[in-house]
Amino acid sequence: MSTAAVPTPFTQTARSAEASQTPGGLIIFLNGTSSSGKSSIAKELLPILDDTYFYMPVDAFHAMRTTPRDLAPDQLQSVLKHTWMGFHRAVAGMAAGGNNIVVDHVLSEQWRLLDCLALFASADVVLVGVHCPLPELEQREQMRGDRPPGLAARQIAQVHAHGLYDIECDTSATSPLDCARQIRDFLPQRPNPTAFEQLKSIRHAEPPTG
């Protein structure tokens, strides 16, 4: 003779959580090379957005990490990749909890984009291309003094290789505040499908390799 399970406080809480799923937050994804002006745009963008947003720059995650000095290059690369993977999952988790996010990232390796495509709700991502000509990037690098020389030059070919964006800005021709205003004003009219949705469709349509 079977008996019905008696609901416990835990199961009741779990069912309540399932019944009231929080809508995902919007991700404003700023992608550009080092020194392209992403953080400057974010600084101007956050105060003028209508809703509450969290600013999640990848550099903040690197700053949390302690790294032993005697790591071999391949070990260091593994540590860095795990940091990037954790960053992507932290962004996805915050957005899944209903939080709006401004992401500051560098998609200078293809796997980073593919990882984000797999993790993020594509309809809720506004992909922003932050552009700047290489001579200006090199000048900014030199003035900053906190970036390895040639970093932007090494990144620039791959960062924008995927080609598709929802909105793009050139920080050599437009101030950070004006870029921020353009992004803010774009949000109510973001496209359907989004750039992330199109990129995911392209990825799924590609024949398997290997």
The pLDDT tens digits of the residues spanning 48-87 come to 999 999 999 999 999 999 877 888 889 989 999 999 999 9
Q: Is the pLDDT of residue 1 over 90?
A: no
C-alpha span between 174 and 38 (Å, rounded) = 13
Note the pLDDT of residue 141: 86
Q: Is the pLDDT of residue 130 over 50?
A: yes
Q: Is the pLDDT of residue 108 over 90?
A: yes
Q: Is the pLDDT of residue 150 over 90?
A: no
pLDDT classification of 18: cutoffs 50, 70, 90 = very low
Whole-model pTM: value is 0.85
Which of 3.90.180.10, 3.40.50.300, 1.10.3720.10, 3.10.20.30 would CATH assign to domain 23-205?
3.40.50.300
171 annotated as belonging to a binding site for a ligand? no
> What is the Cα Rg of the chain in Å?
20
Note the pLDDT of residue 5: 54
Average pLDDT over residues 131-157: 86
Q: Which amino acid is at 137?
A: L
pLDDT classification of 9: cutoffs 50, 70, 90 = low
The answer to whether 25 and 91 have CB atoms below 8 angstroms apart is no
52 annotated as belonging to a binding site for a ligand? no
33 annotated as belonging to a binding site for a ligand? yes
Phi, psi (deg, nearest 5) at residue 159: -55, -45
Note the pLDDT of residue 208: 57
Q: What tens digit of pLDDT does each residue of 152-191 get?
A: 889 999 999 999 999 999 999 999 999 999 999 999 999 9
Report the percent of the chain where pLDDT is more than 70.
Answer: 87
Q: What tens digit of pLDDT does each residue of 22-33 get?
A: 789 999 999 999
Note the pLDDT of residue 48: 99
Average pLDDT over residues 96-100: 98
Phi, psi (deg, nearest 5) at residue 113: -60, -45
C-alpha span between 181 and 113 (Å, rounded) = 26
200 annotated as belonging to a binding site for a ligand? no
- Tell me the catalytic residues: 59
Note the pLDDT of residue 172: 96
40 annotated as belonging to a binding site for a ligand? no
Average pLDDT over residues 196-201: 96
C-alpha span between 89 and 72 (Å, rounded) = 26
3-state secondary structure of 82: helix
Beta bridge partners of 31: 105, 129
Q: Pick 45 or 73 by higher pLDDT.
A: 45
Mean predicted lDDT score pLDDT of the chain: 89
